[in-house]
Structure 1
């Protein structure tokens, strides 16, 4: 078991970026096909930042990249380059591509941070109770709700990519906020939706997809 997670770009990391830039030791980043990632470079800054509070063998990897067109620059950006950092305990030579390979692996797992962000937006940001077990129950409810929303998007909106990939806050507004009720009659179950809602047709189609999947 190992770790690889984001590290704050503080003044120590900014100093390391300046040192690496003066030494001209940045290597090109790579894409999943092994080709060069245009406008992105990586470097190791393990020896330039004090990591003594982390487990032995922890490494600090930096990436600088040209921001996407229209992106707002941050105060941590250096010379117009967006700088990000992560730490890992993966030893040298384990991942093909050395530092560039480590950065590629970390970037490919960005969806994990997306899921954590969704969990926080669902209620994980704050535990509301004083009791440990009450908060444990709260956590289970959040995980169950997130799973339900995820499966609803995958099953119900597979033919609407724009709705299948939206995050929970947008999903809550577009899908869950619609005025609707379930009615029963003539041995049938019906979902009555507000026809004026912009996404009503997509929601009706998703309802049928979900009923078919579990019918």
Structure 2
């Protein structure tokens, strides 16, 4: 019972992500479009699993993520071999976006070398 519900949730996610209308005319192009949509769905699922732990946004549908979390204004800057992302402080969900980015950074940061 629940397995079928999860499958239907994934289908709804794919439709919200871009699978509802195939925008191209050729079969091979639409096949590529389907692969991009599948990748986007996987990225959303992993982001919600790894970065949005402990927040209600972990259960948000793609449309809600697209309308609340993704449109936060940001500026990308490079300085002294570092890349910085400056998020707008006045956006409603900036704190959530910062928490998610920090959670991902903690997961991918290399272990610190110990002197000894």
TM-score range relative to shorter protein: 0.7 to 0.9
State the shift of 1:175 in Å: 0.9
Tell me the equivalent position of 1:192.
86
**Alignment: residue pair count:** 109
SS of equivalent residue, structure 1 residue 109: helix
Is it true that 1:206 corresponds to 2:100 in the alignment? yes
Q: Which residue of 2 aligns with 1:12?
A: none
- Write the deviation string for residues 194-215 of structure 1: whole angstroms up to 9, x where unpaired: 1111111111111111122223
Q: How do residues 34-183 of structure 1 correspond to structure 2 at under 5 angstroms?
A: 106-160=1-55, 162-183=56-77
Question: In the TM superposition, what whole-angstrom CA distance separates every residue of 1:117-139 from its partner, at most 9, and x where no partner exists?
Answer: 01001111111122110000000
More helix by share: 2
Larger relative contact order (CA 8 Å, sep ≥ 6): 2
SS at match of 2:69: helix
Aligned-partner SS, 2:85: strand
Runs (5+) with no aligned partner, structure 1:
1-105
Larger Rg: 1
Partner Cα separation in structure 1 for residue 50 and residue 85 of structure 2? 17
RMSD (CA atoms): 1.4
CA distance in 2, matches of 1:107, 1:178: 34
